[in-house]
Amino acid sequence: MQRASGADRVFRVPYGHEELEFMLQPWFDVDVVESATAEPIADVARAVREALHHAIPSRRQLAIPRPLQGFIRQPAALSELADDAAALARPRGTARAVIAVTDLTRASPDDILVPPLLDELNNGGIPDERITVVVALGLHRPTTDGEKREKLGAVVDRVRVVDSNGRDPKQWADLGPIPPYGVPGLTQKVVKEAHVVAATGIVEPHQYAGWSGGRKTVAIGCAGEPVITATHAMRFLEDPGVRLAKLEGNPFDQTIRELARRAGLVFCLNVVTDDRDRVVAVAAGDPDGVLEELAGKAAALYTRPIAKQYDIVIAGVGKPKDANLYQASRAATYLRFAPTPVVREGGAIIIAAQLDEGAGDGAGEQRFLAALERAESPAAVVDAARRHFEGGEQRAVMLALTLQHCLVIVAASEAPEVVRLAKLRAAVDVEEALDIAYEHIGRPTRASVLLVPHALHTLPVVQPPVA
């Protein structure tokens, strides 16, 4: 953590694809916390190939029939899984594969990750014409043809690329109730009917899953709406095991682990990125093994000690998350629901976010805004969710709980009217937001400010005082 000197009062945060510059007045005592540094991988494509070559073995054993012989093995390489599927498919040679990828709200480098996965499947006997790439939308808006090309590059010319559909029951397969809370198990039929399912993703802190990654790409991104509604409802939100950067004892993680398994996920290719979206780690193979390996590396990168709570926290976001308020609001809730709230009760959080898509265009994003807009107060948002809940409203609940703790101000957005409808304060720029926050905390002689330039990557953890 860095302490800003009195002579250096100019700061910057990510804003869209650029940066936003602002100054702080001398009565603010400013600390800056960023993720740890890690050497970015110079040749990501080569690192991906090496990860695929040294894939983490599957934890399941398969009995594979062969002419005049049967044997047991634990496949590691995706080509082995494809070969096994080709042997088991009836009629022979009809095996199909699915690769699930994140949508544009995640900066996963899928244009680099997917082509070698296709090659591995080809090497195992599944040709391109029997492979489908599924963009895992959850309840986010559909992607355009141009966005698919932006995300996947030449992959769109090689294999079929489709969006998942979380709102059409005709496209879902039923996996049965999922423990520990009996969540309905619904995934896309195209996923369940595939003989091999693989997924990409980024392992980074997540409000509910603890750490995101390829399992969540399939379990939530490819789910039917009842899954998203149930896993994000109050039963999970109020469970003490559902926390940022926590896997052990987390019922949300337990649920998506089983959902992904029943949906057929057998292989993940995941990455960890730094604050500049540069890949710093890659792992491939067994979905659980990949997450465990990369979560450890991500925790060392993202989790940062701080000595105290602050009066004011300034949070940077940047693309792709600051495109809409649904995503950008995570900056405030991550700071509020860190192991100890980073901002003190009655303090203020400032989010610099472009919001060129307003609240967001998907069904979940629109429900998020409506839940905040129609309620008389943040407490009413939470009360309403206990009576009736739909997928997307979880973001409204988390933001409402944050508003009960502190003020939230969104600075420099292109949609200030949306910000106000969501019961947040809108400011023209960060300087005006600081004026509002300073007034809110009572204009003390000195005010403590923490700047978190990459608030969705950096997880500040308040350390207990040394005895």
Please give the average per-residue pLDDT across 109-125, as a whole number. Answer: 96
The confidence score (pLDDT) of residue 465 equals 65
Q: What is the mean pLDDT of residues 163-181?
A: 95
Q: How far apart are CA 279 and CA 107, in angstroms?
A: 10
CATH number of 44-300: 3.40.50.11440
Q: With bands split at pLDDT 50, 70 and 90, how would you rate the model's confidence at 291?
A: very high
% pLDDT > 90, the chain: 81
Q: Given CA atoms 182, 212, 106, 282 in this order, what sign does their dihedral have?
A: negative
Average pLDDT of every residue of the chain: 92
pLDDT at 180: 95
Give span(s): CATH 3.40.50.11440, the chain: 44-300
Q: Is the pLDDT of residue 92 over 90?
A: no
Reported confidence tier of residue 63, pLDDT bands at 50, 70, 90: very low
Please report the pLDDT score of residue 389 as a whole number: 87
In sequence order, the 6+-apart residues with CB closer than 8 A to the CB of 329 are: 351, 395, 398, 399, 408, 422
231-249, pLDDT tens digit by residue? 998 899 889 999 889 999 9
Q: Are 151 and 237 in contact (CB under 8 A)?
A: no
Distance (Å) of CA 176 to CA 44, 88, 255, 259, 447: 39, 24, 12, 9, 53
CA–CA separation, 10 and 198 (whole Å): 45
In angstroms, the first-to-last Cα distance of the chain is: 21
Q: Does residue 4 have a pLDDT over 60?
A: no
Contacts of residue 201, defined as CB under 8 A and 6 or more positions apart, other chains included, come to 101, 102, 106, 108, 212, 213, 214, 215, 216, 217, 268, 270, 271
* Cβ atoms within 10 Å of 330's Cβ, excluding its own: 21
Looking at the predicted structure, is the pLDDT value of residue 117 above 70?
Answer: yes
> For 99-113, what is the mean pLDDT?
92
For the whole model, what pTM was predicted? 0.85
Domain boundaries 2-32+307-462, CATH class: alpha beta
- pLDDT digits over 312-350, tens only? 999 999 998 899 999 999 999 999 999 899 999 999 999
More confident residue, 1 or 30: 30
pLDDT at position 238 is 87
Distance CA 397, CA 394 (A): 5
Given a cut of 70, whether residue 357 has pLDDT beyond it is: yes
Q: Quick one: pLDDT at residue 88?
A: 82
| Tally of CB atoms within 10 A around 70 | 8
Whether the pLDDT of residue 427 is over 80: the answer is yes
**Interatomic CA distance for residues 74 and 60, integer angstroms:** 6
Place of tokens 């004026």: 435
Residue 361 has pLDDT above 80, yes or no: yes
Backbone angles phi, psi at 220, to 5 degrees: -105, -45
Task: Return contacts of 358-361, CB within 8 angstroms, 24+ apart.
Answer: 358/324, 358/325, 358/415, 358/418, 359/324, 359/325, 359/326, 359/415, 359/418, 359/421, 359/422, 360/140, 360/141, 360/323, 360/324, 360/325, 360/326, 360/327, 361/141, 361/324
Torsion angle of the four alpha carbons 325, 331, 332, 334, in this order, in degrees rounded to the nearest 10: 130
Prior bond of 127 cis (ω within 30°): no
Decide: 155 and 182 in contact? Cβ < 8 Å. no
Reported as a single tens digit per residue, the pLDDT across 378-424 is: 999 999 999 998 888 999 999 999 999 999 999 999 999 999 999 99
Q: Which residue ranges does the chain devote to CATH 3.90.226.30? A: 2-32+307-462
* Strand pairing report for 2-3 and 28-32: antiparallel
Task: Identify the pLDDT of residue 75.
Answer: 64
Q: Residue 63, Cβ neighbours under 10 Å: how many?
A: 10
Assess whether pLDDT exceeds 60 at residue 151.
yes
The residue assigned the tokens 């789910």 is 223
Region 13-39 average pLDDT = 94
* Rounded Cα gap, residues 213 and 295, in angstroms: 9
